Chains A and B, each alone.
Chain A
Amino acid sequence: MNLFNIIEEIENIDPEVYGKLSQRRDVIKNITSFGSKVAIAALPFAVGTMFKKAYAADSAAPSVVDVLNYALTLEYLESTFYNAGKAKGTALIPADAAAKYFNQVTTDENNHVTFLKGVITSLGGTPVSLPTIDLTGGNNKGNGPFADVLTNYGTFLAVAQVFEDTGVRAYKGQAGFLLKNQTVLTAALSIHAVEARHASAIRQLRGQTPWITSTAALGNDTGVAAVNGNYDGEQNVTQGGVDVTTLKSATASTTSVAVATAAFDEALSSAQVLALLQGTFLVH
């Protein structure tokens, strides 16, 4: 999906989009606190509306509460995963890795669940409830591609990495729906950064580069082919219309694909993320 083309497409469908947007932008500017229920109720988010028009197949543009409930669903998955791993103790996670890494990550994901529930409630929304989760990716059969996720530390680490890297992509994909919303966007970006810190740390534990280093042909650098979809798009090298491999690097007049892909993380839409998770980790 090329986000930069969307607005052009909208222009074709709705030549008056600019005029409509300017009114909506005034509404958005006034939404700066969680407590502003009146403003929230009046939320015709410009970007969300634009996406709705551009992608008529998407039935509804997300509200702020929709975005937060989507984030909560992902945090439920992560917190369930880490809590289950922690419950296995040293039978699964070496004591040193637990002390230095997984206790911190587990606490953070549980905190994110609590935080998002609180924010959703304060906005007058209802937090979604905990979904049915199959950590093997087997859609409740318990024998998915990661059947030994809670008995094999290597598998546990691989799934952790995929969840964190995918989480980073998922939050990034929602930022545009929170445009100019100081409180909610800042909070979402702040969770996004923590997920990226986790992703970096877990990739280090797995002996990988802390950043996603793709090739021109394949976004996925995890060595686990089953998760190619979670990394698809990370091989992109065009940013803001600029092919960044044509830009000079520290030592040459161009930049390698490895550097170009690692220097920019890519977003996933909620539809893309849910297509990856529903029917596998999220029982459907």
Chain B
Amino acid sequence: MNDTDAINEVLVRHGKDGTRLMQILRETQEELGWLSPATLTAIAAGINWPRSRVESTAGFYSFFHTTPLGRYRVLWSDNITDRMLGNMDLMQAMCKKLWLEPGRVSADGLVSVDTTSCTGMCDQGPAILVNYRAITHMTAERIDQMVELIHNQTPITEWPAEWFKIEDNIRRADILLTNTMPPGEALRISFARGAATEVETSFSERSWHESMQASDIGASATLDEIKKSALRGRGGAGFTTGLKWEACHNAPGRTRYVVCNADEGEPGTFKDRVLLTRQPDLVLEGMTVAAYIIGANKGFVYLRGEYRYLLEPLNAVLAKRRKLGLLGENILGREGFNFDIEVHLGAGAYVCGEESALIESLEGKRGVPRNRPPYPVTNGFLNQPTVVNNVETFASAALIAAKGGDWYRSFGSARSTGTKILSVSGDCERPGIYEYPFGVTVRQVLEECGAHNTQAVQVSGPSGICLNRDEFDRRIAFGDVPTAGAFMVFGQQRDIFEVVRNFVHFFAHESCGFCTPCRVGTTLLKNLVDKIADGNGTRTDIDEIFHLNRLLQTTAHCGLGHTACNPLLYTLEKFRPAYERRLKLLKFVPAFDLDAALSQARQMTGRDDAGAHLETQSEIAQ
């Protein structure tokens, strides 16, 4: 098949619909290897968009490439947990064997090796993506075999199957992960809440319209249970789910949408991956319950590109649910309740975890957060009222729909009801998934995951909070230590400064670039931290970090910029020696070595006396 035919096949599969541009680009790239200028022109013509807008989208996402990057594209997950497992040495070894530099394509155009943001395999790293397929547990032996396979141009489909095995590592399960409810149960019970009312009115002659009202009663009674449960969003912000759904239901619109945020990009977080593997029905049922309550016909699961391998299994579950009458038209025989779900794959952009950026991406555009208000509940996907919730929120909502708000409130604490799934990684014996009722102490988690001599815990990823030893009695709860799920453990042997440096680089890489303070500021922070790492840091640089933090917190466009300084702030407060032992001087020192810059001049003039040197650093210090 030639390129034109391949592009056309993808375009036709997606109805030449521009809002499906992300999927069109991804599938075309899977076929052709990269997105050439001519390919972008053909896609633009196909969806009838200006070419500039197609290039705009293609250029935004890390996993779309508009230059050829080889038939084998190897990306090393570069979270701090991967680093602690030795990923940098392994990557260097791989590059050496392949005769190439990180970030470059081999001379024969066969292979490229680079780093990528956390791929969500922190409990089984070092992890890589090869042509966007996840491989875990990288070792020197695996690298040898892999280099061989690449040299022999063996297709990835013929690589050892065990490399692609992803473990769930569930260490502690509670109400979500032990769920055995049959598919459809939460929906049936939700409908029955309306039916109970229908029976009471069945003596009167009911018109079709009235029976619809009865279904509304089921929906509103289920919404009452969600509200009663006091469920709060599990993605990090913690907005009350019942209120969000009610606002969306009440918002005027042509139609409504339900979006499941499975763009699990916060480094150190991988609990949604396990939920979507082990409890996909519960998640999809939660979405369907939401659709029933707000009156939506269409739903999306926005799955991060790193979890490409989950696409086919999720599509299989969706197909099964359609067959069972749990999706599609007249769901479970309920006249007029039509709802279907589609998986939308992201392409490597952390900022798309922000709900309005996620919606932009769903519409085929750059993942840039919108100006808010208006919020998605009134003006979301295609400007219609839209509910966006985290994977874990929908799973919890399905349980609540089936078992009631009072039952749910019996778990957790009064203000943080239910359970929370933690993704534990780093320096511990048993990394993996731990589901706890809210209110568990950090210390208990550390004990149960087998962490000894712990120096610090980073909760909720780089944008979250860094806890030191004095704070391990704090509790995982909205009122104390809230979290989207990441729980990274750092032992006494770790250099906290290197942790922070990794996080600061992450934010600079993931800033969308929309607003000045975040676009430029995250890179300035990166440069400052690197300057300190290189031994050229001074007090002035620490002051500049605080100055930039004040700027980003007040002027950045979205949460990414607001929280980009958090790793620095928390650790400057709690782990100050990690910085100070690197600071040479209290005076200003430039980022480059002035004296070294004169070495060529010395060589040319044949001088090396004291007069041919600048004053030394120790002289300045005096």
Partners in one complex: no
Instruction: Give B residues with C-beta under 8 Å from A.
Output: none
